[in-house]
A and B are shown apart, each in its own frame.
Chain A
Amino acid sequence: MIVAEIKPFEEIKDLLKNYKNILVVGCGTCMAVCMSGGKRQVELLASALRLSKKAEGQEVSVAEKTIGRQCEPKFVDQIKDGASKYEVILSMGCGAGVQEIAERLKNIPVLPAMNTSFIGASDGEGNFLEMCAACGDCILPLTGGICPVARCPKGLLNGPCGGTKNGKCEVSQDIPCAWVLIYERMKELGRLDDLKKEIGAKKWSKNQRPGKYSVKEEEKEPASIK
């Protein structure tokens, strides 16, 4: 899932300073799960915006709507007709959501309320960890299912650097050294010998921006085949 965090309130306020008629749009998938931009957060942000304008003695109208997934055009179309009533849309989706809405609505400015952080997973206690860097050339089979590209600050491919100490990264004591984790996992798997093999240079060309992916022709729905 995509993990994002809400921008500082002052920044959002500043983004919206020239608008009096705002629609806050939430995203009911990743953003709801990481508790950043689901229905409840939309409600709270909208309320905070109204309150701050009120405190400044200004009038503002802030409407709220949460759609299933902002990166899906069919969901975005659900707000398309009603959107013309607003001067601006504040998206609580990830960067993809903001752009998808902007793409579909064209003539209304769409602003981000979030800073999209990473692709990650929940630790079950309300914390989310980055797990994948979307590099386009997955090496997880070689590293026991732990990604050094995403989880090592240096993205080292063949073992730790000299900065690892007591299993922690020199960058921060909060970051476990990805290569220590890989070592422990491979040991559990009885595959320590495999670590002696060199991981060759990655195909970074696969990481070329902008990434693009198309469903293969034979897997597309018949109606979409031209």
Chain B
Amino acid sequence: MKSISAMPPCQAACPIHTDVRGYVSAISKGEIENAIKIIRQVNPFPAVCGRICTRACESACRRAQVDEPIAIASLKRFAADQTKDLKIIPKPGTYYDERIAVIGGGPCGLTAAHDLTLLGYKVTVFEANKGLGGMLTRGIPEYRLPKSVVKEDIDFILSIGVEAVTGMSLGRDFTIEGLLKEYQAVFLALGSERSVFPKCKGIELPGIITAVEFLKQIGQGGRPHLGESVVIVGGGHTAIDAARTCLRLGSSDVTVVYRRTLKEMPASKTEVEEAEHEGVKIIYLTSPVQFLGGGKVEKVRCVKMKPAGKDLSRRSKLMPVENSEFEIKADAVILAIGYNPKTDRIKDVELISGKSGTIVVKDETGITNIKGVFAGGDVVSGPVSVIHAIASGKKAADSIHRYLRNLPSKEVEDPMVLSPLDEKIANLVLKAVRQKMPALSVEERIKSFNEVNLGYSREQAITEAQRCLNCGSGAVISDECVACFNCVMVCPYGVPVAGEEKAKIDISQCQACGICAAECPASAIDVRIETKEESRKKLEGAIKAAKEKSPGGFKIEFFCQYEESLMPVGDKTGKHVIGKPCMARVDVSQLIRPFEEGSIAVEIDKCGFHNECRFKGCEKWIEKHIESARKILEKSGIGADKLRMVCKE
């Protein structure tokens, strides 16, 4: 595909700018290996992100203007799950002598290690705990992110040559100064796991635990029963994870107390919905003021909160509502109100630290006040989502590479983004419902820690991927335009317009059906989703293969690849076939070209478009092309009947 200047909104919204359109398009054609390769170009955690990503891409997806956004994360999960046994091990192009130490084996540290290894460095990851993964394995429960899944991604990272040493703790087993003698750069990705405690009376009572401590215990296989009634304080992913975990451990009365409203909740809406579906109660605009009990916690005294001013933004101040105190029964309390980094163990060097123990860095490059020492991830930002940790690891890897190679710093520019769909065009796009993720029933869920979401089937994944609007892969007009404005007449969406000198096609609105390209008398229009050159190569390649396989006479068949990708794998054997993004793209010259090379017949597989096609009115154009091609075949003596429409159903 030709390079483009404006990014699709999904790619722009992704903190690591994953080529979402690229891999979703690959899945839509049934090319799952290609999809995972595209994902892996930037993301070493596809199986993890496919499950727990905060999905900024989906919030930006333009399909939402038509019906619902593409289930991008679920498609990523599908690609990762389907290819987990595939061993595609990338190798660095160059090797350097420098060694790099990464402290912290969470998503940020491992991503930096992954990228630096592929850049050609020798990287060692030091992890204080017994296992790698950081909060992915210690903080997120099994039903949302199974450990086996995290292991798949980590195993891949280790397979490219990342060395990892576990059970080695900074400050206890080694120092930064010591590392700097052996390593030319040190990256601190220490995470942020120290729980913040609310300033309430009774906080010391037994029965009050931190969510990190609790989830860690579960992660290690512990199955404590905390009692019938559990109160969780907080509104992030961890609070919801802890609450849903309590249900699975047999507690029947689980309440989350959050001081703001659902709108400001850091936990995702889907998670909140799922938790409520399973039976978790959530009380908004409420804060604990005191923990009560004799010998152990028995009750939580809470107060209702209200915004202090008119400003209702996420960080607006709150104040208690007078005389609104009430009590909730609690056999146990889990605190999940926030986490700070544990940087007090760094004693040998004087790193500048910020509030709450974070490390202060110059900017996104992660450069600290000490030469050769970089920092990133939660230890810099405080707790954020996994994709932000990955992004931070990637930026640090790039910056360490520039530091070691003495390269100038990278100019970071905000990408240009395709504008939203015009309402008129959004209304013309055929509606198609988002595929529902198969999941365990509530009864099955709360009995076990089995993964709740089961993943798409192949058919579901391809169907979902085919909903993608392929934003920005539409038509481009070259200087050869003769301003006949035929494109203006034929476009089913009304996108091309007459410009001052030539026709103009707004790439942000074009739906990439390719009808204008097939009809342009000057051949001045190309479509990025499959360029003329790609199309020509595909056809010539198929003819060449057909000639070799069947020297006695061959047939060429065109089919709609959107339809074909849903057929069972291997169905193509023995046919000389050419898949097209839309059959309307098969222009007259492509239909007659095979005859020049000796084809005895050309067939158009009608099955692909006899149902309502994703592209408006394409059937009319396919029929028109066939009719024109037949006329040429007739008058040139080949015979019109050699070109036919078939349906194999």
CB atoms of A50 and B589 under 8 A apart: no
| With contact pairs A39-B480, A43-B589, A47-B589 given, residues A32 and B521 touching in the complex (Cβ less than 8 Å) | yes
Interface digits, B450-477 against A, CB 8 Å rule (1 contact, 0 not)? 0000000000000000000000000000
| Cβ-based interface call for A138 (8 A) | no
Contact between chains at A52 and B521 (CB < 8 Å): no
B640 within 8 A of A: no
A9 with B589, Cβ < 8 A, contacts A32-B521, A39-B521, A125-B489 known: no
> What residue of chain A has the Cβ atom nearest to residue B490's Cβ?
A126
A102 in contact (CB, < 8 A): no
Is A121 engaged at the interface, CB distance under 8 Å to the other chain?
no
A-contacting residues, B587-607, CB 8 Å:
587-589, 592-593, 595-596
- Say whether A32 contacts B522, CB under 8 Å: yes
Report yes or no: A35 in contact with B486, Cβ–Cβ below 8 A. yes
The B interface, classified by DSSP as helix, strand, loop or mixed, is loop
Question: Is B592 within 8 A of A47, CB to CB?
Answer: yes
Tell whether, in the assembled complex, residue B521 and residue A44 are in contact, meaning their CB atoms are under 8 Å apart.
no
Shortest Cβ gap from A90 to chain B (Å):
15
* Known contacts A32-B522, A41-B521, A43-B523, A51 near B595 by CB under 8 Å: yes
- 0 or 1 for each of B620-638: is its CB under 8 Å from A? (1 = yes): 0000000000001101111
Given contacts A33-B482, A38-B482, A48-B632, list 16 more A-B pairs with CB under 8 A. A32-B482, A32-B484, A32-B522, A33-B484, A34-B484, A38-B521, A40-B520, A40-B521, A40-B522, A41-B521, A47-B592, A49-B636, A52-B637, A52-B638, A55-B637, A124-B485
| Chain A facing B: main interface SS | helix
* Interface residues of A, Cβ cutoff 8 Å to B: 9-10, 28-29, 32-35, 38-41, 43-44, 47-52, 54-56, 66, 122, 124-126
* Residue of A9, A32, A54, A125 touching B596 (CB-CB under 8 A): A54
Cβ A44 vs Cβ B632 within 8 A: yes
Contact A28 B480 (CB under 8 A): yes
Cβ contacts under 8 Å, A33 to chain B: 482-484, 521
A-B pairs with beta carbons under 8 A, tally: 80
Please list 13 pairs of residues, one from A and one from B, whose beta carbons are closer than 8 Å in the complex, sorted by A's number.
Answer: A28-B522, A32-B522, A33-B521, A38-B523, A40-B522, A40-B589, A47-B632, A51-B637, A51-B638, A52-B637, A52-B638, A54-B595, A122-B484
In the complex, which residues 478-522 of chain B have their Cβ closer than 8 Å to any Cβ of chain A? 480, 482-486, 489, 520-522
- Contact (A39, B522) CB under 8 Å given A44-B588, A47-B596, A51-B632: yes
Chain B min CB distance to A29 (Å) = 6
Tell which of B522, B592, B632 has the most Cβ of chain A within 10 Å: B522
Q: Which residues of A contact B595 (CB under 8 A)?
A: 51, 54
With beta carbons under 8 angstroms apart, the residue of B480, B484, B486, B635 that contacts A52 is B635
**Top 5 closest A-B pairs, CB basis?**
A55-B637, A52-B636, A51-B636, A38-B521, A33-B484
* In the bound complex, CA of A124 to CA of B486 (Å): 9
Closest to A29 in B: B482
Contact check, B593 vs A47: say whether CB atoms are below 8 A apart. Answer: yes
Task: Tell me how far the C-beta of B403 lies from the nearest C-beta in chain A, rounded to whole angstroms.
Answer: 53
